[in-house]
Amino acid sequence: MLTIEKLAEYGADVEKGLSRCANNEALYLRLVGLCIGELSSCALGDALKNRDLDKAFEIAHKLKGGVSNLALTPIAIPICELTERLRNQSPGDHESLYNEIVKERAALSALLA
Amino acid sequence: MTEKKMKFSISEEKRQILLVEDDIINREMLKESIGNAYELIVAETGEEALRIVRERFETLSIVLLDLNLPGIKGIEVLRRIKSDPAYAGLPVIVMTSDSEAEVECLTLGAIDFIPKPYPPSEVILARILRTVELYEDKNTIRWTERDHLTGLYNKEFFYHYADQLDLYHKDVPTDAIVVDINHFHTVNDRYGKAYGDKVLKCIAGNALRLINEAGGVVCRCEPDMFLFYCPHRSDYEEMLNQLSIVPKGGDSGENHVRLRMGVYSDVDKTLYVDRRFDRAKLAADSVKGNLANPIGFYDNSMHDAEVMEEQLIDDFPTAIKEKQFVVFYQPKFDVRGDTPVLCSAEALARWKHPKLGMVSPGVFIPLFEKNGLIQTLDRCVWSEAAAQIRDWKERFGVSVPISVNVSRVDLYDPKLIDKLLDMTEKNGLKPDELLLEITESAYTENAGMIVENVKQLRKLGFKIEMDDFGSGYSSLSMLSALPIDALKLDMQFIRSAFRERKDTRLLEAMINLSHSFDVPTIAEGVESAEQVSVLKAMGCDIVQGYYFSRPVPANEFEKFVAEKKEISACS
């Protein structure tokens, strides 16, 4: 079961995340759960694989909003970096960033158990 | 605060916020942060947001707008809100993580930003609260400083801004200009209020264009009056022409709206602003009804007249108390027989002012008629005249009826009849010894009520003389319906009939007409023997004028009373 302690252990800045939810722990945890669901179901990997970078940017930008506001720092860092790269259409290693996102997503999902 | 007041109070009402956000996490966070303090209406797309703004902009306090929306993007939503005058004033706070978008959003009219990731809930709440307060304060100021119909300033704010202009442009010659619409109420009556409003808005638009070009400020201070305070100019005619461009009314396709303008040019900045506009208004009033020359300019003579008027008004109570008003009498002679016979006199007020000397009635009568003081003066004259009739009766044994002026304002006095009866009774007079002169123009306004009052007076025995006949607008056919005992032909009318190319045909027709209604005629302003004989030949009954005597004090008039006594004794 997802708890504040587990999230803090994971590396989330729970204090910041909670402050954006008016310190409502239940809401915060519910939103993190929603966010993990979005991360799992999104088509970011497919968009990158198909080189549909506009679509990839759109998805990454949306994910960035959620993870940043919830202060899920370990996954927020690679998502933000990928978003900026896609926004600026910078060439580079999208795949390794995506792999990091997948790794962090797995770590987050594990917290649900 | 009582429960009732809580239920019907603006300050306690939850403000409505439109939250435009497609992301559920962000939405839920904001709901938790501000949902207790505000009523949130949520839109998940740009299209939905625009629809809600259109439908509910009047009750929305603020829009929280995410830029990254599906469909119409946030920036386009912002642009559309700000480009529609109906809701351009609605404050929009943009929520973005993109600092580069900030400049564009500010340029488009966004009032603030909430960065992403969000600051703590209390910071968001405080920012929204502050924005709502500022918006409402601004709106309140806008509503109080502006005339709602035209959007121009109201008078108080206009004067304030005029003062501000003086502060920054002390040495710039400036004009105070008043623009008035002639008979605006008739425009409303004839073409409807909607057209009247359209005209006012149109003039306001023209005024703003002029001010935008030339500088200055403008306001609507009365329903049909506009004030301008602007750098000195000389093209007032052009200005008036531009202001006069309004939609045509009625089926004729003609412009029925006529403006007049009063200019106090290069104002004296030591005067209070409202005094400057009093002067411009005076200038505008000087051309009232003058369609050929609708622009009046304030000058020193107007100022002198104004000062004089103020002094006379100030001095009036003392003048009454100290009996500075003296009644003079001008005889009226019956010319029907071989020898003219004194039949009555007219009482005329003269003001022996301790500092100004003899003040002309031509100056103080119109002034007191305008401000209602005439009522007090009339009472004094009536009372003096009634006492005089009694005095002559007692000392000479003959009755010389005296006519007194009854002003229009007197006729509205519900106690008029009681007062007149009281005066005659107190002096032992019969009502027909005090003749009442009522001007023709008094009958034209509120005619029904005036006619009724006059009928009542006649029933009680008072004799009514219609004064200044021929100067007003009553039609000759009205004569049959009016309750009068004599018709007094206007002095100017007599004078013009006897001018160089003597044309007395109209005069004769009027005397004949008057006779056909069995109403005797009185000619005043008669100055020569020739005029007397012509009038007599025409059938005029009574003559008054310098030919017989100018108005004289009571003691000088006594010679006429003595003569009358002698004639009475002989006959």
pLDDT digits (tens, 9 = 90+) for B519-547: 899 999 999 999 999 999 999 999 999 99
pLDDT number for residue B100: 80
Type and span of the H or E element at A2: none
pTM of the predicted protein model:
0.53
Closest CA relative to residue B60, chosen from B127, B141, B151, B132: B132
Closest chain A residue to the Cα of B26, Cα to Cα: A66
Local structure of A113: helix, strand or coil: coil
Q: Establish if B33 touches chain A: CB-CB under 8 angstroms.
A: yes
Closest chain B residue to the Cα of A73, Cα to Cα: B117
Question: Is the model more confident about B444 or about B109?
Answer: B109
Q: Establish if A61 touches chain B: CB-CB under 8 angstroms.
A: yes
Residue-averaged pLDDT of chain B: 88
- pLDDT for B236 beyond 70: yes
Local structure of B259: helix, strand or coil: strand
Q: Mind listing the domains of chain B with CATH numbers? A: 3-145 (3.40.50.2300), 155-298 (3.30.70.270), 323-570 (3.20.20.450)
Interface contact flag, B25 A20, Cβ < 8 Å: no
Type and span of the H or E element at B172: none
Contacts of A27 in chain B (CB under 8 A): 28-29, 32
Q: What confidence category does residue B29 fall into, taking pLDDT thresholds of 50, 70 and 90?
A: very high
For testing contact with chain B, the best of A16, A20, A28 (most B CBs within 10 A)? A20
- Contact call for residues B265 and B298 (beta carbons, < 8 A): yes
pLDDT number for residue B515: 87
Residue in B26, B116, B121 closest to A22 by CB: B121
For testing contact with chain A, the best of B21, B27, B29 (most A CBs within 10 A)? B29
Contacts of B119 in chain A (CB under 8 A): 20
Question: Is the model more confident about B246 or about B400?
Answer: B400
pLDDT number for residue A10: 95
- pLDDT for A18 beyond 70: yes
pLDDT number for residue B273: 93
Interface contact flag, A68 B97, Cβ < 8 Å: yes
Give tens-digit pLDDT for B272-281. Answer: 999 999 999 9
For residue A55, what are its two tokens? Answer: 């679509």
pLDDT number for residue B203: 94
Q: What confidence category does residue B13 fall into, taking pLDDT thresholds of 50, 70 and 90?
A: low
pLDDT number for residue A40: 87
> Half-sphere exposure (CA, 13 Å, Cβ side) for A21?
23
Distance linking the first and last C-alpha atoms of chain A? 5
pLDDT number for residue B9: 40
Q: Establish if B120 touches chain A: CB-CB under 8 angstroms.
A: yes
Q: What confidence category does residue B330 fall into, taking pLDDT thresholds of 50, 70 and 90?
A: very high
Can you give B229-243 as a three-state secondary structure string? EEECCCCHHHHHHHH
pLDDT number for residue B549: 96
Interface contact flag, A27 B28, Cβ < 8 Å: yes
Interface contact flag, A22 B33, Cβ < 8 Å: yes
What count of residues does chain B have? 571
Interface contact flag, A20 B97, Cβ < 8 Å: no
Contacts of A70 in chain B (CB under 8 A): 25
Give tens-digit pLDDT for B241-271. Answer: 999 998 877 666 666 788 999 999 999 999 9
Lowest average pLDDT, out of B132-141, B219-228, B284-293, goes to B132-141
The C-alpha atoms of residue B106 and residue B104 are separated, in whole angstroms, by 5
- pLDDT for B5 beyond 80: no
Closest chain B residue to the Cα of A28, Cα to Cα: B29
Q: Write the burial class of residue B424 (CB in 10 Å: 0-12 exposed, 13-18 middle, 19+ buried).
A: buried
Interface contact flag, A69 B117, Cβ < 8 Å: yes
pLDDT number for residue B141: 66
Q: Establish if A75 touches chain B: CB-CB under 8 angstroms.
A: no
Separation in Å, CA of A63 to nearest CA in chain B: 9
pLDDT number for residue B10: 42
Interhelix angle for B24-34 vs A25-41, to 10°?
170
Residue in B28, B97, B118 closest to A31 by CB: B28
Strand B341-353, strand B325-334: pairing: antiparallel
pLDDT number for residue B4: 52
Q: What confidence category does residue B398 fall into, taking pLDDT thresholds of 50, 70 and 90?
A: very high
What does the pLDDT average to over B505-523? 87
Q: Establish if B71 touches chain A: CB-CB under 8 angstroms.
A: no
Lowest average pLDDT, out of B167-176, B297-306, B324-333, B431-440, goes to B297-306
Q: Mind listing the domains of chain A with CATH numbers? A: 4-111 (1.20.120)
Residue in A20, A27, A70 closest to B120 by CB: A20
pLDDT number for residue B517: 83
Separation in Å, CA of A12 to nearest CA in chain B: 14
Q: Establish if A73 touches chain B: CB-CB under 8 angstroms.
A: no
pLDDT number for residue B142: 66
Residue A110 Rama label (left phi>0; alpha psi -120 to 50; beta): alpha
pLDDT number for residue B7: 46
Interface contact flag, A20 B29, Cβ < 8 Å: yes
The C-alpha atoms of residue B281 and residue B276 are separated, in whole angstroms, by 9
Q: Count A/B contacts: CB-CB distance under 8 Å.
A: 55
List all residues 6 or more positions away from B545 whose beta carbon is below 8 Å from its beta carbon. Answer: B523, B524, B525, B526, B527, B531
Contacts of A19 in chain B (CB under 8 A): 120-121
- pLDDT for B170 beyond 70: yes
- pLDDT for B95 beyond 80: yes
- pLDDT for B465 beyond 50: yes
For testing contact with chain B, the best of A27, A63, A69, A81 (most B CBs within 10 A)? A69
What does the pLDDT average to over B203-210? 92
Interface contact flag, A27 B121, Cβ < 8 Å: no
Interface contact flag, A20 B116, Cβ < 8 Å: no
| ipTM score over 0.85, yes or no | yes
What does the pLDDT average to over B201-218? 91
pLDDT number for residue A110: 94
What does the pLDDT average to over A87-107? 89
Q: What confidence category does residue B504 fall into, taking pLDDT thresholds of 50, 70 and 90?
A: confident
